[in-house]
Amino acid sequence: MKNTILILLAAGLLYLGFSYFSHTPEIRNASPRGENIICFGDSLTYGTGASEGKDYPSRLSEMLGMPVINAGVPGDTTDSALQRLERDVLEQSPRIVFITLGGNDLKNGVPRDRAFANLKIIVQTIQEKGAMVVIGGIDIPFWGKGFGQAYEKLAGECGALLIPNIFKGIFGKPEMMSDTIHPNDAGYEIMARYFYEAAKSHI
């Protein structure tokens, strides 16, 4: 009898452990309202280093088979993105919003807490419109200053879809980069594929 109880307890603990570690946060607005697919962000969204029509929003549009609005501004920080959020996203009837922001904050030495406080406002404000948010995170070893973990924390708190490292398989590979920080056409295609795979079931 004692052995049976111990086996049942062990099985219960294993089940609870599996449930805890395999739990994924609920995605907010997984069945989104709104009309438009919008890519909002910095030079990675704008397409610095890409040939005409080869930026990631254009490639994403091809993959989805529908129009995608490119609301990328080179040099954008979370501060400047917050200032144009109303005009470039909220007034455009957003349905799904793909975000690449934070890289310039990291490059410019903006404190992590400030950058992610801004980013949290951006994400939650978009979600309040009924749109789903997909975040392209940045996780650069040694130089990342904890931004990678901060993206994960933010996505969990807000219920946003997260691509942990939008540069995976791209950054540091000359055949994928146009310069030291921007992809080339091949790199942007990979980036677009990451976003497509993350969101295709919610379109």
* pLDDT tens-place string over residues 117-166: 999 999 999 999 999 999 999 987 655 578 999 999 999 999 999 999 99
Answer whether residue 82 shows pLDDT above 50.
yes
Instruction: Tell which residue, 159, 117, 113, 115, has the closest CA to residue 134.
Output: 159
Coil vs helix vs strand at 26: coil
180 within some domain: yes
CA distance 174 to 68: 28
Report the mean per-residue pLDDT for the chain: 89
List the domain range (segments joined by +) for residue 38.
Answer: 25-202
**Number of neighbours of residue 87 by Cβ within 10 angstroms:** 10
Give the model's pLDDT for residue 9. 38
Where b means 16+ CB within 10 Å and e means fewer, 132-162 reads bbbbbbbbbeeebeebbebbbebbeebbbbb
Answer whether residue 78 shows pLDDT above 60.
yes
Q: In degrees, to the nearest 5, what angle opens at C-alpha 107 toward C-alphas 145 and 60?
A: 100
1 within some domain: no
165 within some domain: yes
* pLDDT tens-place string over residues 18-44: 333 333 569 999 999 999 999 999 999
Reading the block at residue 118, the tokens are 């801004």
Number of helical (H) and strand (E) elements in the chain, helices listed first: 8, 5
- Decide: pTM greater than 0.85: yes
Strands (E), the chain: 36-41, 69-72, 94-100, 132-136, 161-163
Q: Domain count for the chain, please give it.
A: 1
Answer whether residue 96 shows pLDDT above 80.
yes
52 within some domain: yes
CA distance 99 to 132: 11
Instruction: Tell which residue, 162, 140, 141, has the closest CA to residue 153.
Output: 162
4 within some domain: no
Give the model's pLDDT for residue 8. 36
Give the model's pLDDT for residue 140. 73
What element of type H or E holds 165? none
115 within some domain: yes
Reading the block at residue 40, the tokens are 């909002």
CATH code of 175's domain: 3.40.50.1110
